[in-house]
Amino acid sequence: MTPEEELLAEAREKYPIGTVFKSAQSGSTFTVDADSYFVQGSDIRCYVNKRKWEPFLRFNGDWSKIISSPVPQVINNYPIF
């Protein structure tokens, strides 16, 4: 894997859809609502609010603070996020 692919994989693991986070760059609070993460230089961003915003998940080497993680529903013994 390339370094960019590794960062994207880490972002997907740390910030799955439904994660509420405080942006490392702006301090604003956002919710990950789609599986759309991308690299910008050495930073990681994602689309939120139907692609209207592109907050930083990782900025200048610092990851955004997670406010809350998604809680899966369990249906027929299968977790659904």
Residue 73 falls within a domain, yes or no? no
| Average pLDDT for the chain | 87
Number of domains, the chain: 1
40: containing domain:
3-61
pLDDT at residue 59 in the model: 94
Q: Exposed (0-12), middle (13-18) or buried (19+): which is 57, by Cβ within 10 Å?
A: buried
Pull the structure tokens for residue 58: 């990782």
pLDDT at 6 over 80: yes
Residue 39 falls within a domain, yes or no? yes
Residue 31 falls within a domain, yes or no? yes
Q: What is the pTM of this model?
A: 0.80
Residue 66 falls within a domain, yes or no? no
Residue 67 falls within a domain, yes or no? no
Summarised one tens digit per residue, pLDDT across range 37-74 is: 999 888 988 888 766 778 999 999 999 999 999 877 77
What are the start-end ranges of the E strands in 1-81?
20-22, 29-31, 37-40, 43-46, 56-59, 62-63, 65-68, 73-75, 78-80
